[in-house]
A = this chain, B = another copy of it.
């Protein structure tokens, strides 16, 4: 069972606020706040503009580690796992190891 986002939405899976990366460095989310680090799970086809033309999502691929805007998106639980469906515009940056 999978979640296929519509339009320019992205499905992300939040990761722990503080995780050790392969290079031994910690990602730390501000304490007392909703974690904003996540991994991209699914990417929507893109937004349809006013003329009916599809504008694909750019610069993101499944597996990217991203920083998402706090409080953005809709949380869903599927097969016991939590995901967030979020707009492309609320993915702020990619974190590269």
Contacts and interface: CB of A to CB of B under 8 A. Distances in A.
Interface of A: 1-7, 9, 11, 21, 23, 25-30, 36, 42, 44-45, 48-56, 58-60, 67, 69-70, 74-80, 85, 89, 91-97
A78 B4 CA distance: 30
A83 to B, nearest CB: 9
A92 B79 contact: no
B93 A4 contact: yes
A78 B95 contact: yes
Contacts of A6: 59-60, 91-94
Contact of A52 (B1, B7, B26, B55): B55
A3 B85 contact: no
A17 to B, nearest CB: 10
